[in-house]
Structure 1
Amino acid sequence: MNKQFFLLLSLFGFLTFSTAQKKKISLEEIWGGAFSTEYMDVLRSMNNGKQYTILNFNRSPRSSSLDKYDYETLEKVETIVASSESVPYFSSYSFSDDESKVLLATEVEPIFRRSRLGIYYVYDIATKGLVKISETKIQEPTLSPDGSKVAYVSDNNIYIMDLSSKEVQQVTKDGSKGTIINGVTDWVYEEEFGFVRAFEWNSNGTKIAFLRFDETDVPSFSMDMYGTNLYPYQYEFKYPKAGENNSVVTLHMFDVASGAISHVDLNDPYYIPRIKWMNSPDHLSVQTLNRHQDDLKLFDIKATDNSVSLLLEEKDNAYVDIDDDLTFLADDSFIWTSEGDGYNHLYLYGKDGKLKNQITQGPWEVTRYYGYDKKNNRIFYQSVENGSINRDVYSISTNGKKKKRLSTKVGTNSAAFSTNYTYYINTFSNATTPYEFTLHKASDGKLVKAIKDNSALLEKLDGYEMSPKEFSTININGYDLNMWMIKPADFDPNKKYPLFMFQYSGPGSQSVSNSWISSNDYWHEMLASEGYIVACVDGRGTGLKGRDFKKLTQKELGKYEVEDQIAAAKKLSELPYIDENRTGIWGWSYGGFMSTNCILKGNDVFEMAIAVAPVTSWRFYDTIYTERYMQTPQENASGYDDNSPFNYPEMLKGKYLLVHGSGDDNVHVQNTMRMIEALVQANKQFDWAIYPDKNHGIYGGNTRLHLFTKLTNFVKENL
């Protein structure tokens, strides 16, 4: 192996056996669920910290039950509520703050990625009474802290139901489709700021703070949905593309006792990506962003008179990320994450917004904030301190001392803590170990007991031709980039193999991680068994290596990332066992944007490319995501157009496959149609496939099997 390849991690396990008589993985097995992993059911800690709840389902007869378990024994203690003749089948639940009532969701249907409509009930645990909230489907019902009321959104308006009197109060009256939304987010906030419910009860249930979206001037996007009827229909929704108008978002305060709504004057912020009540019922925190998303302000709103004071302001030459890490301690001092010192770290601020101290520090990133144990003054978090492809769980005191690594195995560790931070359940995997679930003491990470593993899957995989991911770094354009490679199980260094590269490459993403394999990886294993070498390189702009590495691609999406993939392919082709005349690349979404650019700008390196659901011009993508990295097309036309593949279709030399779902509400099929037209007018031959009515994930029924059969055939015919 070349000197520039430094092996970070040698992997072993189920992959060291002879390949004789081993089966090859098939597409039918991958997409038929033959290699699916056992997961822990989603559990939620009870307030007492000693017990947790799990929602259990039976297929035959179809039923659901909410069951309580003990952490120490992992045994079921009781069934809180189960579906029956009087209780309808429910698919999700949430407790009131005091755990006296449970909100049950039934007949749930998706709207977009996170938003749902459903029929909801409130179950009283003591009386076993059941109250149906509404006869029609509603959004985001949320119990008041004392469980006496439930607030929800219906047809873009907020309502409150009193559970004892069953009286319903309509809070807002101006909501209407396509113009005004109260209490839930518009499409672009849901997709890019990652939340739907845009109203919050304060801690004593006397106030509700909510956001109002005026999307009147947001342009509409429409998609033809083909369905099964004689005529297709148009699905239309408000979608602000880069440089276009966003919703005008305002903050309002509803007083439950008087029924009065007041407007909170924040001096016309462009975005309001987060609102969160402090522990004090009279103080609301609000985060605002300017359009460039490089100036974040955190405000304290005094709910008694709506007065506004600035707690902190964070600026960045590129952009400031939004997250859910903000945590208020008992006295409303707060924990905050920031890339201020060049890496994502935890900070402690006083309730006046003055910095007390930086809690974590070092040339590594905090990747998850889990919470604060007030009793022992311990903060729990996940980080990549043990190498950027690994994740570990740590605890530390608020003064930044007494740091302790709680996880012990090298790979990807994540934790779910009990409410009082007595226990946590650790989820571990690495590239050769599927998910293991274990119970630990939070104080020192000591193992209490093993819960579940995937040893049966490992035994099954022992009968298949599998190869380990080899992790290394490759020096490209002056940077040591993380890489994995999968070689055929019967690899012969004296032979020449075609190289097939996979990547995503989006800002802050990571495709090279020491974690259990995904469905795509099983496909890569299948290709390796057919004689291909598969490799993945995380280039500049990807995450977990510091602020500067991640934000280097600012205003130039697709420039440096493409340069890195082309250079990596060239360097890998210098290896004696790689055939430099057979190099391919593929990707999905941002990865499809990348693979398309690579076969054009790297037409002397790549002989083949596959692009699934690609962006082909950032002018077509939404405001919040695109402008965060590119500013607006009006300000940065060259950044948009110089890396837009349909602006240079004449550069296509190799074999190219383009795939999209026609019902993609996220990356619109318009991207692919424009690419197709450009290639046609350049008289370039290529292959393409459209999956009718399928969204960005392109799945359902036999869709994935069909798609990956097409991809496999394309690889075999053209590489």
Structure 2
Amino acid sequence: MKHIILPFCICLFITTILSAQTKDITLEDIWKDGSFRTERMDALHSMANGQQYSVLNFDRESRSTSIDIYDYKTLKKEATIVNSANLEEIPYFTDYTFSKDEQLVILATNEKAIYRRSALGNYYVYNVKEGSLDLISEDKIQEPTFSPDGKKVAFAKENNLYVKDLSSGKITQITSDGEKNKVINGITDWVYEEEFGFVRAFDWNADSNKIAFIRFDETNVPEFSMDVYGSELYQTQQVFKYPKAGEANSLVSLHLYDLSSDKTKTVKVDKAYEDFYIPRIKWTNNPDILSAQYMNRHQNELDLWMINAKANTSNLVLEEKDKAYVDVTDNLTFLDDNSFIWTSEKDGYNHIYHYDKNGNLINQITKGNWEVTNYYGYDDKSNTIFYQSVENGSINRDVYSVKLNGRNKSRLTKSEGTNNASFSADFSFFINTFSSATTPPEYTLNSSTSGNLIKSIKDNDKLAQKLSEYKTSKKEFSTITINGNDLNMWMIKPANFDESKVYPLLMYQYSGPGSQQVANRWNGANDYWYQHLAQEGYIVACIDGRGTGLKGADFKKVTQNELGKYEVEDQIAAAEQLGELPYIDASRIGIWGWSYGGFMSSNCLFKGNDVFKMAIAVAPVSSWRFYDTIYTERYMTTPQENASGYDENSPINHVDKLKGDFLLVHGSGDDNVHLQNTMRLAEALIQADKQFDWAVYPDKNHGIYGGNTRLHLYKKMTNFIHETLGDKILKEEETKVNQVKIKG
């Protein structure tokens, strides 16, 4: 045999290739070591000049934070606004907010979460020019907000509203009737925060002399209590107002505070509402005109009011109605002439509309059988709107521009996957965050006129290089035809997949109204878990069934009044169809999900007991009667009106059908989907004499995290999957069959 001598560099290259993709992804890699953490840009803010942006940076060595200014064109750091290393009072801060003129900054410290979006903290005002620091309040407060003129800060404390004059230091108390579990001023109650997605329920007008705020009277809302076990001898209780479906909501009212007169008046609109929500308030460019969105309890009627604070009049300018429900919009934008931009599903897909100040339609700006998924803003100099949509396929996201008249639409992003933009204040540039199933997040500077790349800012090439050392499988996107619909699907197969072999299948889904899990974007933590499971010999698949989003209103709203009916039918049918594939073992199909997904996986195991061998339900809703008013009634109306819709599709009423293996998991401190759901489901299973496994994580909320919690949870779930779907089970079943044959 002839010996061939290769150059050293070629030998090294071959050795690298041979050693690549040999490492297994471990659960510790994912949830303990942070091995696959991505580089990000935190708290990105475009400066008013449109040529610079600021970022919150954390120095791990000094454990300090800074607000650093970068030039858009050069991407070079040009200045540091403030560094906590130079501040005696603040070791570090976690967030920042500029005043309109950017001469003052609110620095957030000691923030402690209340619920999902709310927090209490100590906040300082930093003077950029003087380098001085002023503590807003000695007490912990919520939502400190600069007035537009930068001379005052409004904030909430102990359910009341206050204003601080920054020059004199004087604090004025606006409201005095705030009381825990009774009255809240200017801050949303639990259900508004969770389901309408905002906390600050007050807003400054353009002249900085009026504040509009919503008052919540929680007196008649039933209380929910949770034991907090902690580490002391006796547990404590967290007691808060939580309106479950069909129960009393907070009574809301809208108020205007006038700083010059120090007086507050209640807003009355010219329509009688019996039971209603105020999901948004926003001042127009006119300092005397406030916009407010009012919604009936069924949430199928949304009214946009223009309230004249000076004349004490109200004008109903827009009415949205739907046979199912109307989504609240965050995209209301007022132009100089007080005409406004609005997004709506009224033509069957979410699109952008332009109305005059009286609510007369000027034109529909975007049209088509696709959804606008994000609205970035309007550039009045070029009459251009910037937005994100799924026009390039419902699993992708692209950034577009279009003229106010609906013409000259242009796709600004070029790469197929998920693109999300952060525009400069003057709309001359945008920082694009791009990722796909094969490309980790990368941040680039792009031109707003052409979308062309100007410079790369940050990438995750190191992570991509690191991942090349691991055994990974491609996430394969496709569609599957189920119940007459082409549903989006992804599938991950073992890296050494052999079509002649059979594999167990684990299905994942969330399935909630308007949601999406099948998307062309980079890995989350669970994706690495699925890669781990693929390495262990499982196929993992995810299908977005009816009721999920971005395929039009009809597809999304088909589940109205019957949550858990069509979604479950689709997952069962998908499992049956996948089970017919020659390489999937139809006798070893499992399903799992979290929250709505846990509600679904429970239902699928019970109702599809001949299809699914096992299910894992984490923090599931077991009956919609236990969940909150705003979310549940949006899709189901009330239990009093729709008892059958609530009961026929709730897992708690189908426990007698359980045949397979079931793992039930919950956090005892879950303020969102209460532990009550799991306790009642467990009791129903026990009384039906159905065996199941379960775990309760002490004091953990809906996210079930902290310390080793996530690692412990995923070890438990992984072990359960091995025990119920793994090859060991298959071999045991084969042994039993062989024994029967021998005896026969």
TM score, norm. by length of structure 2? 0.93
Contact kept? 2:432, 2:445, Cα under 8 Å: yes
Unaligned runs of 5+ residues in structure 2 are 1-16, 726-744
Query: How far did 1:87 drift?
Result: 4.7
Q: Report the equivalent of 2:388.
A: 382
Contact kept? 1:429, 1:435, Cα under 8 Å: yes
Contact kept? 1:30, 1:523, Cα under 8 Å: yes
Q: Report the equivalent of 1:466.
A: 472
Contact kept? 2:127, 2:133, Cα under 8 Å: yes
Q: Distance in 2 between matches of 1:80 and 1:436?
A: 26
RMSD of Structure 2 on Structure 1 (CA): 1.1
5 Å-filtered alignment, 1:112-127, equals: 112-127=115-130
Query: How far did 1:21 drift?
Result: 6.4
Query: Does the alignment pair 1:105 with 2:108?
Result: yes
Contact kept? 2:43, 2:95, Cα under 8 Å: no
The one-letter code of the counterpart of 1:76 is K
**Which residue, out of 83, 98, 101, partners 1:95?**
98
Contact kept? 1:586, 1:611, Cα under 8 Å: yes
* Most deviating of 531-540 and 123-132: 123-132
Q: Report the equivalent of 2:221.
A: 218
Q: Report the equivalent of 2:728.
A: none
Contact kept? 2:592, 2:615, Cα under 8 Å: yes
Q: Distance in 1 between matches of 2:126 and 2:395?
A: 44
Unaligned runs of 5+ residues in structure 1 are 1-16
**Partner SS for 2:723:** helix
- Cα distance per residue 1:28-85 (max 9 Å; x no partner): 0011211111112331001110011112222332222112111111111111122224
Q: Distance in 1 between matches of 2:615 and 2:390?
A: 32
Q: Distance in 2 between matches of 1:85 and 1:408?
A: 44
Contact kept? 1:467, 1:525, Cα under 8 Å: yes
Contact kept? 2:252, 2:277, Cα under 8 Å: yes
Q: Distance in 2 between matches of 1:496 and 1:56?
A: 49
Contact kept? 1:19, 1:465, Cα under 8 Å: no
- Change in Cα spacing, 1:651 to 1:52, as seen in structure 2 (3 Å) is same
**Partner SS for 2:720:** helix
Q: Aligned residue pairs: how many?
A: 703
**Which residue, out of 361, 366, 373, partners 1:367?**
373
Query: Does the alignment pair 1:648 with 2:654?
Result: yes
- Cα distance per residue 1:630-661 (max 9 Å; x no partner): 00000000000001111121100000000000
Q: Distance in 1 between matches of 2:696 and 2:544?
A: 29
**Partner SS for 1:499:** strand
Query: How far did 1:340 drift?
Result: 0.6
TM score, norm. by length of structure 1? 0.97
**Which residue, out of 412, 421, 428, partners 2:434?**
428
**Partner SS for 1:434:** coil
5 Å-filtered alignment, 1:10-25, equals: 22-25=22-25
Q: Report the equivalent of 2:79.
A: 78
**Partner SS for 1:275:** strand
Q: Which has the larger radius of gyration?
A: 2
Contact kept? 2:285, 2:336, Cα under 8 Å: yes
The one-letter code of the counterpart of 1:205 is S
Query: How far did 1:18 drift?
Result: 7.9
- Cα distance per residue 1:251-306 (max 9 Å; x no partner): 00000100010000134461000000001101110001000000000000001022
Q: Distance in 1 between matches of 2:624 and 2:190?
A: 17
Q: Report the equivalent of 1:7.
A: none
* Most deviating of 34-43 and 431-440: 34-43
**Partner SS for 1:599:** helix
**Partner SS for 2:440:** strand
Q: Distance in 2 between matches of 1:76 and 1:116?
A: 31
Q: Distance in 1 between matches of 2:152 and 2:144?
A: 10
**Partner SS for 2:441:** strand
Q: Distance in 2 between matches of 1:649 and 1:549?
A: 29
Q: Report the equivalent of 1:151.
A: 154
Q: Distance in 2 between matches of 1:488 and 1:64?
A: 43
**Partner SS for 1:562:** helix
5 Å-filtered alignment, 1:5-44, equals: 22-32=22-32, 33-44=34-45
Contact kept? 2:121, 2:142, Cα under 8 Å: yes
5 Å-filtered alignment, 1:179-218, equals: 179-218=182-221
- Cα distance per residue 1:457-501 (max 9 Å; x no partner): 111111111111111100000000000011111111111111110
Query: Does the alignment pair 1:165 with 2:168?
Result: yes
- Cα distance per residue 1:228-258 (max 9 Å; x no partner): 0000111100000000000000000000100
Q: Report the equivalent of 1:271.
A: 277
**Which residue, out of 660, 663, 667, partners 1:661?**
667
**Partner SS for 1:194:** coil
**Which residue, out of 628, 633, 640, partners 2:639?**
633
Q: Report the equivalent of 2:49.
A: 48
- Cα distance per residue 1:4-25 (max 9 Å; x no partner): xxxxxxxxxxxxx889861111
- Change in Cα spacing, 1:329 to 1:21, as seen in structure 2 (3 Å) is closer
5 Å-filtered alignment, 1:445-484, equals: 445-484=451-490
**Partner SS for 2:358:** coil
Q: Report the equivalent of 2:264.
A: 261
Contact kept? 2:41, 2:55, Cα under 8 Å: no
Query: Does the alignment pair 1:501 with 2:507?
Result: yes
Q: Distance in 1 between matches of 2:625 and 2:160?
A: 32
Q: Distance in 2 between matches of 1:352 and 1:456?
A: 54
Q: Distance in 2 between matches of 1:117 and 1:401?
A: 46
Q: Distance in 1 between matches of 2:524 and 2:211?
A: 42
- Cα distance per residue 1:488-531 (max 9 Å; x no partner): 11111111111110000000000000111111111111111111
Q: Distance in 2 between matches of 1:131 and 1:557?
A: 51
Q: Distance in 2 between matches of 1:114 and 1:323?
A: 18
- Cα distance per residue 1:328-347 (max 9 Å; x no partner): 11111111000011000000
- Cα distance per residue 1:395-440 (max 9 Å; x no partner): 0001110000000001111100000001000111111111011100
Q: Report the equivalent of 1:10.
A: none
The one-letter code of the counterpart of 1:50 is Q
**Partner SS for 2:105:** strand
Contact kept? 2:211, 2:256, Cα under 8 Å: yes
Q: Report the equivalent of 2:8.
A: none
The one-letter code of the counterpart of 2:78 is V
5 Å-filtered alignment, 1:373-412, equals: 373-412=379-418
**Which residue, out of 241, 244, 254, partners 1:241?**
244
The one-letter code of the counterpart of 1:37 is T
Task: Point out which structure has higher relative CO (alpha carbons under 8 A, 6+ apart).
Answer: 1
The one-letter code of the counterpart of 1:141 is P
Contact kept? 2:329, 2:342, Cα under 8 Å: no
Q: Distance in 2 between matches of 1:19 and 1:294?
A: 59
Q: Distance in 1 between matches of 2:517 and 2:21?
A: 32
